[in-house]
Amino acid sequence: MRILLVGFLILANQLSWADDFAASAVPLIQKHCVTCHGPDKSKGGITLHDITTEGHAFQNFELIQNALEQIELGDMPPDDEEVLPTPEEKAELLQQLKSITKRVVNGEVPQKAGRVTLRRLNRTEYHYTVKDLFGVTFNPSKDFPVDGAGGEGFDNTADALFSSPALLEKYLAAAHKVIAAVYDDSRLVQKIIFAQPESPSEIDATAKKVLTYHASRAYRRRVSDEDMAPLLSAFSRGVTRGLTYQDALRAPLTALLVNPRFLFRAEHNQKDHDEWQLNDFEIATRLSYFLWSSMPDRELFRLADQGKLTDPDVLRQQTQRMLASPKSKALARHFGGQWIGFDKMIDHVQPDKKRFPGFSLNLRKAMYHEGVEFMHHLITEDRPIYELIDSDYTFANQALAQHYGLSTPVSGAALRKVPIQNEQRGGVLGMGGVLASTSLPMRTSPVLRGVWILDSLLGDPAPPPPPDAGELPADDTKAGGLTFREQLDAHRQSKSCASCHARIDPLGFSLENFDAIGRWRDRDANGKPIDSSATLPGNISFSSPKELKTLLMDSKDKFARNMIRKGLSYAIGRGLEYYDEAIVNDILTTVKTNNYSTQSLIHSIIRSRPFLKRSSTR
């Protein structure tokens, strides 16, 4: 009876909240917001007209949170609105929006693990998996189409991993190349075809032994007779045509690499269940692709086969083992590279050759690997995540150290950990890869840098510019006697631009002493002194990278929450939903308790509900 009563009270409260939001918030949104954010007009790409219930508010949690912040800052509604809300209306709307955000963050909404759709291996995962499966050293996926980003901006998000007939043709071509490379290398042949029949009567059984081993690894689970039938049939056809045992295995080994069981990561469903635990092989697969971007190794397979990965202690031990492996550099390279943005140094960043003649291929590579090595160090040495904001070290080789003007002498092409005495450098804000990727070919971009800080570091993205925003010159030497900052100040006087630029530009201005390829400078391209002073809404004044880092360190919980969101999305392969916010909040509490430990964050993600379980609905 007591349980029924508690359940009834919870339901009654939920109905009350729903009635409150629909009755109080929705009319105010329709009255004061929909004119600019509705079906006929959507400033900043934001529409609010279809948020008419509590459920809609939950589903659009980030939008609700953003609206709350804009109203609290006084940016919305704009002062030139014909009918402004009364103080009572504003207070009521704020109370309703705060109630929604509080309930979502505290988990006072229906909770579930979520559901990841069928996931194709992306280019990176295909490359690493084939390398681990068959030992080839070249990259067979280099001709594949570029994978799009989804969710929190990662190319391993299931919903963004589309397939096409052209891609399937490339899979077939890549499979033939991989198996040809195996057969051209006697060492690999001996490793892959590890068993030889001692008599003609043992040919089929021996082939089945070899193919079962490789199929179970390729499909990342135990294989069934149904799985094996087409492979054994392909082998038998080869033998019938007179091929040798070894040559008859070529076709089924090729077939493994174009089988959907290899190319896609499928997870089982359970009928008549709302949510269920992943099986051990599925956990092994999630774990290995999160930390290594590749298939499970033999130890993970063995533990999965024994049903031990559902043991929290075993799972933690395996996570620790995998983080200590050199293969965990994949996490630094692909999670860190896409989140922080230093992966753009691979082929996206193209500084003007005449303006920056010293920007060489070696310097480009060093800037990219600085980010990788820094992130890998953070992970393997279990450093606090806030060292990404501010640190007294980086990783540099001779070329990069000279480029930065570091006082510590560094020689050679290899990157190594180097102490930094200059407090303006340190952390990702002082990395050439970040500074160059947030610049234009001929100049810095305070706007791009400010947007990057808001989005990538703080998880507080600015809306896209309006269509009539105009463009600033690509070359800062053609400023008509104005400094570039003066040009930008004039540009943002427009009412449609001012509110957003007030949040964005100051962050970028404080980094203006770094030029478009990350060198320190005291004067701009026109020889005028750099003005790095900045003031954010709320009269928050600062200047220089050092002072910006101090400001960001004061917001390290906001940074930590964003890193958790990014890490969780990358790990599970989907964008986050409103019911994930309570998980993010719990992980943040754990991470703070452990002095913002990087490994604490990773372990917390791995033992979380959305990582270990699966729901029947999204």
- pLDDT tens profile 299-345: 999 999 999 999 999 999 999 999 999 999 999 999 999 999 999 99
Confidence of residue 8 (pLDDT cuts 50, 70, 90): very low
Q: What confidence score (pLDDT) does residue 495 get? A: 65
Is 2's pLDDT higher than 60? no
Is 469's pLDDT higher than 70? no
Residues 6+ apart with CB under 8 A from 328: 291, 292, 322, 376, 379, 380
Q: Of 49, 5, 9, 58, which is closest to residue 27 (Cα–Cα)?
A: 49
Q: What confidence score (pLDDT) does residue 10 get? A: 42
Q: What confidence score (pLDDT) does residue 12 get? A: 42
- pLDDT tens profile 204-229: 999 999 999 999 999 999 999 999 99
Q: In the predicted model, what is the mean pLDDT of residues 556-566?
A: 97
Which one is predicted more confidently, 248 or 474? 248
Query: What H or E segment, with its residue span, contains residue 175?
Result: helix 165-183
Q: What confidence score (pLDDT) does residue 16 get? A: 45
**Which residue has 């349980």 as its token pair?**
3
Residues 575, 157: contact at Cβ < 8 Å? yes
Confidence of residue 18 (pLDDT cuts 50, 70, 90): very low
- pLDDT tens profile 100-139: 989 998 999 999 999 999 999 999 999 999 999 999 999 9
Is 294's pLDDT higher than 90? yes
Q: What confidence score (pLDDT) does residue 34 get? A: 78
- pLDDT tens profile 227-286: 999 999 999 999 999 999 999 999 999 999 999 999 999 999 999 999 999 999 999 999
Q: What confidence score (pLDDT) does residue 383 get? A: 98
Confidence of residue 151 (pLDDT cuts 50, 70, 90): confident
Calculate the CA dihedral of residues 233, 234, 239, 240 and round it to 10 degrees.
Answer: 70
Q: What confidence score (pLDDT) does residue 80 get? A: 64
Query: Taking phi first (over 0 means left), then psi (-120 to 50 degrees means alpha), and beta for anything else, what does residue 439 get?
Result: beta
